[in-house]
Amino acid sequence: MRTRSVVTTESDSRTALTRVLVVDDLEGNRQLIRRLLPASEFFVDATGDPEEALAIAVSAPPDVILMDIRMPQRNGFDLCRQLKGSETTRLIPIILVTANRQSQDRLRAIEAGADEFIAKPLNPVELRARLRALSRVKRYTDELDNAEQVIVSLALTIEARDEYTDGHCQRLARYATAMGEALHMSDAELRALQRGGYLHDVGKIAIPDAILTKPGPLTPSEMEVMKSHPVVGERLCGQLRTLAAVRPIVRHHHERRDGSGYPDGLGGDEIPLLAEIIGLVDVFDALTSARPYRAALSLEATAQALREEVARGWRRREFVELLLDLAYRSGWCSGADATIADTT
Ligand SMILES: [Fe+2]
């Protein structure tokens, strides 16, 4: 059922073309759209099978998806909703095509997350103009995504400077999103927790190795340098709009509920909720991981240490108990030898 347009250019040159995935059960419609989109500007992939469209969107993401609403196996609204609900395909712009201009269809298209809605008969000039506009949006978001990837790579590079923090970012992202899911947080909040897990310590790029990897307690002046990392990190993320929800996490993940944390000494509910979660799982992972000066703590010893922090007024009791419950049930404990209860 799937057919590709005949493109005689080399695959490398396709990167300059706008890649369009056409999803329509009628071969005649697919051919018509191909005729409307010149091969000099568009690379058209076409399928009549909604399941295949999903597979293509993941394996070879197009710049824009042009999708018919009425299809026998599955309607376009459902398919659009699924693509927009998936982390890997949600940024691909989607145009829904319908046989009429009924406002009910328009409303359903918006609810399904479609970026545009056009009615048949297709106006070739309008179709090409909309595809161009949406592909520009897609390339812009791709660039932002790439910029974010650079910052994530930077964060992982910082992690690699210290052999004792290997895998720390991945674990934090996993623990924090599990807590967010248990707290029924929104998809946007879960994404922020995931990114926050990776980026919370990105400001450590400014901390010299002699301090960052020092095998033992820091002096007061070294501690002051170390405490600058949330502010530096926030500044690094500051230029990217896609990281707006992550900035408060980066800045405030070392605050404590009694106001004794840093950099701003926020107390209680002044601390952004997502930063509080990342701050908690950060401490949990530090306790359950080996350090140059001590072995990893057991879950029991970790639970005791975190409950002491609750008693001191540093942490929210419900969050600590939720985290411990998840940790016991999921077997979270990174340390290879998690038996020695040594908090020094
Ligand atoms: Fe930190």
| Local mean pLDDT, 10-residue blocks, the chain (344 residues) | 41 69 94 93 94 93 93 89 87 87 78 88 91 87 74 76 76 95 94 91 87 86 93 82 87 97 95 98 93 85 97 97 95 52 32
**CA–centroid distance, residue 250 to ligand 1 (Å):** 8
Those residues with Cβ within 8 angstroms of residue 252's Cβ, 6 or more apart along the chain or in another chain: 230, 264, 266, 271, 272, 275, 276, 279
Ligand 1 centroid, distance to 29 Cα (angstroms) = 55
Q: What are the structure tokens assigned to 313, written together?
A: 């007024």
Q: How many CB atoms are located within 10 Å of the residue 82 CB?
A: 17
User: Residues 250, 233: contact at Cβ < 8 Å?
Assistant: yes
Q: How far is the CA of 228 from the centre of ligand 1 (A)?
A: 9
279 CA to centre of ligand 1 in angstroms: 8
User: Do strands 94-98 and 64-68 pair parallel, antiparallel, or not at all (unpaired)?
Assistant: parallel
Residue that has been written with the tokens 């690094």 in this structure = 236
pTM here is 0.62
Tell me how far the alpha carbon of residue 233 lies from the centroid of ligand 1, in angstroms: 9
CA of 205 to the centre of ligand 1 (A): 11
The answer to whether 277 and 317 are in contact (CB under 8 A) is no
Q: For residue 75, how far is its CA from the centre of ligand 1 (angstroms)?
A: 47
**Ligand 1 centroid – CA 201 distance (Å):** 5
State the pLDDT at residue 140: 77
Centre of ligand 1 from the C-alpha of residue 294, in Å: 19
What is residue 334's predicted lDDT score, i.e. its pLDDT?
55
Query: Distance from the CA of 94 to the center of ligand 1, in angstroms?
Result: 39
User: Rounded to the nearest whole angstrom, what is the distance from the C-alpha of residue 315 to the centroid of ligand 1?
Assistant: 16
- Cα-to-centroid distance, 340 and ligand 1 (Å): 24
- Could you give the residue ranges of the DSSP H alpha helices within the chain? 27-36, 50-59, 76-85, 103-111, 124-161, 168-182, 187-199, 209-212, 220-226, 229-237, 247-252, 273-287, 299-311, 317-330
The answer to whether 253 and 199 are in contact (CB under 8 A) is: no
pLDDT (0 to 100) of residue 225: 92
What spacing in Å lies between the alpha carbon of 203 and ligand 1's midpoint?
8
Cα 260 to ligand 1 centre (Å): 15
Q: How far does the centroid of ligand 1 lie from the alpha carbon of residue 193, in Å? A: 14
| Amino acid 164: pLDDT | 64
Q: What span, in angstroms and rounded, lies between the C-alpha atoms of 121 and 5?
A: 21
Q: How far is the CA of 226 from the centre of ligand 1 (A)?
A: 9
Distance from residue 56's CA to the centre of ligand 1 (Å): 39
pLDDT for residue 101: 67
Find all residues with CB under 8 Å of 38, minimum gap 6, and list them: none
